[in-house]
């Protein structure tokens, strides 16, 4: 099992940057498929990015491609989400999550992610 703690959220103006962190305890994170998800008020949860098990292969939702970067530091057992060129539409609660495997096509739904962080709020103003 793994326990996840999100941090790094805050308020930024459009065009700014934030880096989210997800510190893991328990199992090593490289043995999990790791992802970032977000949920805005009144909207469904949305998959943002994933990084595959024992790999540096990543996948992103279309709206963040070229702006966000997911990465993993195995030595620190920590997952990151670097968010650049932030837009007001990025405003949401962001959650990190872990799954035993990555689903190639359905990962944005997050249905197979079994461990979740508590969330960190990101607010982007125009």
Could you report the per-residue pLDDT of 33-61, keeping only the tens digit for each? 999 999 999 999 999 999 999 888 999 99
20, containing H or E segment = strand 18-26
- Model confidence at 16, pLDDT cuts 50, 70, 90, reads very high
Give the three-class secondary structure for 21: strand
Do 18 and 124 form a contact (C-beta atoms < 8 A)? no
d(CA 94, CA 105): 21
Buried b (16+ CB within 10 A) or exposed e, 9-32: beebeeeeebebbbbbeeeebeeb
- What the block records as the tokens of 12 is 């930024």
Whether 20 shows a pLDDT value over 90: the answer reads yes
Locus of tokens 């008020």: 41
């Amino acid at each position: 099992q793994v326990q996840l703690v999100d941090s790094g959220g805050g308020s930024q103006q459009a065009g700014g940057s934030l880096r989210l962190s997800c510190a893991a305890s328990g199992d090593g994170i490289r043995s999990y498929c790791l992802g970032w998800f977000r949920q805005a008020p009144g909207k469904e949860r949305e998959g943002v990015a994933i990084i595959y098990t024992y790999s540096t292969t990543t996948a992103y939702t279309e709206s963040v491609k070229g702006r966000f970067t997911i990465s993993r530091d195995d030595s620190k057992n920590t997952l990151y989400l670097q968010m650049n060129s932030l837009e007001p539409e990025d405003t949401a609660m962001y959650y990190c999550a872990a799954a035993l495997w990555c689903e190639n096509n359905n990962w944005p739904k997050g249905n197979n992610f079994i461990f979740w962080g508590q969330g960190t709020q990101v607010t982007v103003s125009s």
